């Protein structure tokens, strides 16, 4: 599988027989942001709040994650803490209903005065397949409902230790298929997710094609996980800078992967969405942080999709934390990212009746680096 990906990306980036562009490794946060996907929108500026949050998580939260045991007791403790989110006051502007799609529990929400869009947005929360829930991600769903005017449906898919990734994938594609069947506008279903939910978002797009279901009208991915081994560097994925993730400890991935992919589990289709780009045709909106370790594969996916003529809008942000749009209540950058995503979704279904919002501090960054004709591995 990796050789196939290497061949495709190598061909996309110039192949082994023609000159290709090599990116110089740079330290994050110094000088203009280096990019690999040269149509990315770069957001260089950052707020004081985002800088404080990034530093706090790096100093306090990351060490905790680094040494927390990966076992059932830890999963239970994390999920109990997540459950406290249910006590948070709901938005007074949102009406909600708990029901099922294809037997999968979901929570639907829209503006109390009714949606002003025919869109349905299926939201898949993040959390590494062992944390996060429809409660922890309720605020981002409420905000998306208000910004898009859509009915937002948050999926309560199975997680560790009850089920592995294969079970999570089965739940979300089951919910999507049921939504397509029930919807008055199946051509206006948008699928969105953050982190592990971004993985599931791309799996829905892939499996919809494989099963002959209508493709989502658009995909929204906030720091999406696009492979089951993003820490590996022996792939044909360009790395513009050294990863220095604010709170995700890369060293724990090998251990958690054992739980993600038990020997008796089989994920339908490709295990890694990055390999499945040929099955994805929906307009795609992607967000990544400058130095998070998931960023290289976000740019690789943008390259693969755009090379096939798929509409891709990619945003790279400086001095943020992984999946920061989930924190839109606290971070102005998260609020901006959600508005950009909402505009993209409405444009994809033909309902954006104004000019899309633009971040006045953003710009497009062209490829930076020297031309190299060597045939070495492109991973830095």
Domain count, the chain: 1
Task: List C-alpha distances in Å: 69 to 24, 126, 145, 290, 324.
Answer: 37, 20, 37, 28, 25
**107 CB-near residues (< 8 Å, 6+ apart):** 96, 97, 98, 134, 138, 141, 153, 154, 156
pTM: 0.87
Q: How confident is the model at residue 246 (pLDDT cuts 50, 70, 90)?
A: confident
Whether residue 357 lies inside any domain: the answer is yes
pLDDT digits (tens, 9 = 90+) for 316-370: 999 999 999 999 999 999 999 999 999 999 999 999 988 889 888 787 755 443 3
Least confident of 17-21, 251-255, 282-286: 17-21
In a domain, 379, yes or no: no
Average pLDDT, rounded, for the chain: 87
Domain assignment present for residue 20? The answer is no
- Angle of CA points 195, 305, 41, to nearest 5°: 70
Q: What is the pLDDT of residue 29?
A: 56
A 10 A CB-CB count for 142 gives 22
The pLDDT, as a whole number, for residue 216 is 98
In order of 159, 222, 224, the CA distances from 284 in angstroms are 25, 11, 12
Per mean pLDDT, which range of 67-76, 173-182, 268-277, 346-355 is the poorest?
A: 67-76
Q: Report the greatest alpha carbon distance in the chain.
A: 61
Residues 75, 81 contacting (CB under 8 angstroms): no
Output the domain CATH number for residue 326. 3.40.50.1820
The reply to whether 378 falls in a domain is no
The Cα–Cα gap between 317 and 53 comes to 14
Residue 21 placed within a domain: no
325 or 66, greater pLDDT = 325
For residue 51, CA distances in Å to 55, 217, 308, 309 come to: 6, 35, 37, 36
Residue by residue, DSSP assigns 225-249 as --SS-TT--SSS---SB----SS--
Domain range enclosing 321: 2-14+26-369
Q: What's the whole-number mean pLDDT along residues 22-32?
A: 49
pLDDT digits (tens, 9 = 90+) for 284-306: 999 999 999 999 999 999 999 99
Q: Which residue has the higher pLDDT, 80 or 190?
A: 190
380 occurs within a structural domain: no
**Rounded Cα–Cα distance for residues 36 and 115 (Å):** 38
| Alpha-carbon span 261 to 257, nearest angstrom | 6
Residue 217 lies in a domain: yes
Whole-number pLDDT of residue 13: 43
**Tens digit of pLDDT for each residue in 119-169?**
999 999 999 999 999 999 999 999 999 999 999 999 999 999 999 999 999
* Residue 376 within any structural domain of the chain: no
Residue 327 CA, chain-centre distance (Å), reads 14
Share of the chain above pLDDT 70, in %: 88
């Amino acid at each position: 599988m990796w050789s196939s990906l290497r061949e495709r990306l190598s061909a996309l980036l110039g192949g082994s027989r023609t000159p290709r562009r090599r990116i110089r490794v740079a330290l994050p946060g110094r000088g203009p942001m280096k990019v690999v996907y040269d149509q990315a929108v770069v957001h260089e500026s950052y707020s004081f709040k985002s800088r404080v949050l990034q530093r706090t998580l790096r100093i306090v939260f990351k060490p905790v994650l680094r040494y927390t045991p990966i076992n059932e007791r830890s999963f239970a403790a994390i999920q109990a803490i997540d459950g406290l989110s249910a006590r948070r006051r709901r938005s007074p502007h949102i009406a909600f209903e708990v029901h099922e799609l294809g037997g999968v529990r979901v929570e639907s929400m829209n503006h109390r005065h009714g949606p002003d869009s025919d869109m349905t947005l299926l939201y898949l929360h993040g959390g590494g397949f062992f944390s996060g829930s429809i409660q922890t991600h309720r605020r981002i769903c409420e905000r998306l409902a208000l910004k898009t005017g859509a009915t937002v449906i948050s999926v309560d898919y199975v997680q560790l230790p009850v089920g592995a990734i294969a079970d999570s994938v089965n739940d979300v594609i089951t919910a999507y298929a049921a939504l397509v069947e029930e919807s008055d506008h199946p051509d206006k279903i948008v699928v969105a997710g953050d982190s592990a939910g971004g993985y599931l978002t791309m799996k829905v797009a892939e499996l919809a094609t494989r099963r002959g279901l209508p493709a989502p009208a658009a995909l929204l991915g906030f720091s999406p996980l696009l492979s089951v081994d993003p820490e590996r560097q022996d792939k044909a994925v360009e790395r513009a800078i050294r990863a220095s993730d604010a709170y995700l400890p890369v060293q724990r991935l090998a251990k958690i992967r054992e739980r993600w992919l038990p020997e008796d589990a089989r994920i339908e289709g490709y295990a890694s969405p990055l390999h499945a780009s040929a099955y994805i045709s929906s307009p795609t909106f992607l967000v990544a942080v400058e130095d998070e370790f998931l960023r290289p594969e976000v740019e690789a996916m943008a390259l693969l999709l755009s090379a096939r003529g798929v509409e891709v809008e990619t945003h790279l942000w400086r001095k943020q934390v992984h999946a920061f749009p989930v924190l839109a209540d606290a971070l102005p950058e998260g609020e901006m990212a959600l508005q950009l995503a909402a505009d993209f979704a409405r444009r994809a279904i033909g309902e954006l009746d104004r000019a899309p919002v633009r971040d006045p501090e953003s710009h497009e960054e062209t490829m930076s680096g020297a031309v190299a004709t060597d045939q070495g591995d492109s991973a830095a």
